[in-house]
Chain A
């Protein structure tokens, strides 16, 4: 088992109280698994991703733990985590493309980054060049500044960079959202290729776009308002979801072939609860067409079928 997350709670401290952005997540990601992580804006996807790498000063580990390759990952201890970042766990943050330092040539940036991890640039350069070839980037890009690269080139560069030390786990947060469809596809397929070549053992691919992640993921996990709603093999989430939120979400997605004139799709009325004082019980309750008396109690996230976990009283 590559990654094991146990009842993880991470809150943001604010003046008005704690924002319960990740409120008790328990799941595993197997060796070789690409897990898509989907959910509405604000549901806690990036919070989960960041928690596995670096808690920023406003984030507080409230409860729970993480194991990577059978050993505890000290996510609450920022100094201890230094030994793991990049080497064991790597994150491509949301908006990574714009976060590249614009005043540094790419090669120089990589060499500094590796230096800080005690790795010699000259030693890793042959492997770096091999991987640039693999993703179709010219070796000359190392002499370019980030702004000289197109969006798709930057994303491939960031991908090569963050997996250079063959981490066990890669978290890719919205790496394709800003790209157009044909570039999206190329980047998404590169993720699969990196897994197949074992540059990384497993991946969490965070995205709004379920139809994109469906193309490449083995499993999909859906979050809602700081909680896990459902996790299952990608085909099951798309074709036979069991959580009412997942069902409504999937049926609200337009795809090429669906026309307003032929079939009118429907959204999900209402909006998610605030996470400052979220309601007790199931957080989807006031939007859920199936809600009943029992839903004032919180539904546990349980395995309803092999490798299919759902947090809903109706699905058990």
Chain B
């Protein structure tokens, strides 16, 4: 059974003067994340990735549908029950610098969770757990403890936030564009770290607009366009045999290291054929259709 499952999750924002207009940022998103699985959520900027991640983390309210975690509907949890949920589910975001307060030492983020979540654990024992967590994200405690954020690199700060998530003994990590701020040489370290954690059973919702990163670590991929899931399935199938015209466009625009863009890639993207209606009239209905085992595609009209 899936650990996290989303069922027709929808988010509407009120926008405009006096909140007079409604914007649907996410519509009827349905997908799941299993334990020990990396699912990447891929889409261009504004497609609703962060909004989905924030709903899973309950940092944004859910306007419609259900989010279940280990069978419990968490989409409307409050108070102590919500705090209990955060013991299992945590997020790390794009800009590591913004998460830290520059006037405090960086490791403060590791200390402040003890009184909230583990009041029964002694300070000495907690310090030991911090060292273990730092080591498991391959940080040398001596190099990062007692330092201010500006004395650490983006990669070190980002890893410290992952260590924080681990201290909570979480089962699911929501990682929203955590790589984009990092240098190429640090990027791959953080990616490999996530892959290690996954092998130890952590479920990861990996949000990115970078297809090569998503392809590198994920088991399954969900392609989001304007708030709607247009294609999803195992990474091999979605990347190896993309069926939705939008997925094809994205894939053909990815810059590749040993292959230059050609006109032929563009020709491939012009193929707007619908995997569901095959030449017939596209009705544009929102349901995804299974075109292969664990490979679902939406109508091309979306």
Whole-angstrom distance from the CB of B217 to the nearest CB of chain A? 5
Chain B 188-203, CB-CB to A under 8 Å as 1, else 0, gives: 1101100100000000
Q: Which residues of B contact A277 (CB under 8 A)?
A: none
A180, A185, A259: the one within 8 Å of B45 (CB):
A180
Give the residue name and chain of the B residue nearest to A40 (CB): B183
Contact call A265/B239, Cβ cutoff below 8 A: no
- The interface-forming segment of B25-33, B62-70, B249-257 is B249-257
Stretch of A6-14, A249-257, A297-305 that contacts chain B: A249-257
CB B240 to nearest CB in A, in angstroms, measures 10
- In the bound complex, residues from chain B placing their C-beta under 8 Å from that of A179 are 45
- With A256-B239, A258-B215 in contact, do A268 and B185 touch (Cβ < 8 Å)? yes
Taking the complex as formed, is B13 at the interface, i.e. its CB lies under 8 A from any CB of chain A? no
Q: Is A250 in contact with B215, judged by CB distance below 8 angstroms? A: no
Q: Flag the segment in A58-66, A104-112, A208-216 that touches B.
A: A208-216
Task: Tell whether A209 pairs with B44 under 8 Å between CB atoms, given A252-B188, A254-B188, A258-B215.
Answer: no
Q: Which residues of B contact A256 (CB under 8 A)?
A: 211-212, 215, 239, 251, 254, 256
A100 at the interface (CB under 8 A from B): no
**For the side of the interface on A, what is the size category?**
35 or more
**B184 contacts the other chain (Cβ, under 8 Å)?**
yes
Interface residues on B, range: 35 or more
Determine if A260 and B191 form an interchain contact, defined as CB atoms under 8 angstroms apart: yes
Cα of A260 to Cα of B184 in the assembled complex, Å:
16
Which listed residue, A40, A188, A215, touches B184 by the CB 8 Å rule?
A: A40
For B185, B192, B212, the residue with the greatest tally of chain A CB atoms inside 10 Å of its CB is: B185
A259-B216 contact given A238-B258, A239-B258, A265-B188, CB 8 Å threshold: yes
* In the complex, per-residue mask of A246-280: 1 if CB is within 8 Å of any chain B CB, else 0: 00111011111111100011111001000000000
Is the C-beta of A143 less than 8 angstroms from some C-beta in chain B?
no
* Minimum C-beta distance from A152 to chain B (A): 10
Main secondary structure, interface of A, reads loop
Chain A residues, CB < 8 A from B260? 214-215
Of B154, B183, B216, which one neighbours A208 at CB under 8 angstroms? B183
How many residue pairs between the two chains, A and B, have CB atoms under 8 Å in the bound complex? Answer: 112
**Shortest beta-carbon distance from A259 to chain B in Å:** 6
- Does B101 belong to the interface (CB within 8 Å)? no
Confirm or deny: B24 has a beta carbon within 8 angstroms of a beta carbon on chain A.
no
For the complex, what is the distance from the CA of A188 to the CA of B255, rounded to whole Å? 11
Q: Name the residue on A nearest B246 (C-beta).
A: A182
Could you tell me if B261 and A211 are in contact, using CB atoms closer than 8 angstroms? no
A141 to chain B, nearest CB (A): 19
Q: Give CA–CA (A114, B96) in the complex, Å.
A: 40
CB–CB B216/A185 < 8 A:
no
- Beta-carbon contact of B258 and A254 below 8 Å: no
Q: Does B153 lie at the interface of the complex (its beta carbon under 8 Å from any beta carbon of A)?
A: yes
Contacts of B212 in A (CB 8 A): 211, 253-256, 258
Cβ-defined contact, B235 with A259, below 8 A: yes
CB distance from B144 to the nearest CB of A (A): 12
Contact status of A182 and B249, CB under 8 A, knowing A256-B211, A264-B192: yes
Given A40-B184, A260-B192, A267-B187, CB of A254 within 8 Å of CB of B213: yes
With A182-B250, A254-B191 as contacts: A212 and B45 at CB distance below 8 Å:
no
- Tell whether A41 is near chain B: CB-to-CB under 8 Å: yes
Q: Are A41 and B183 touching (Cβ within 8 A)?
A: yes
- Which one of A188, A248, A249, A265 lies within 8 Å of B192 (CB-CB)? A265
Q: Closest CB-CB distance, A253 to chain B, in whole Å? A: 6
Within 8 A of B (CB), among A189-245: 189, 208-212, 214-215, 238-239
Cβ of B164 within 8 Å of any chain A Cβ, yes or no, is no
* A260-B213 Cα distance, complex, nearest whole Å: 10
Q: Can you give 12 A-B contacts (C-beta < 8 A)?
A: A40-B184, A180-B45, A182-B249, A210-B257, A211-B256, A252-B185, A253-B184, A255-B257, A267-B185, A267-B192, A268-B185, A271-B153
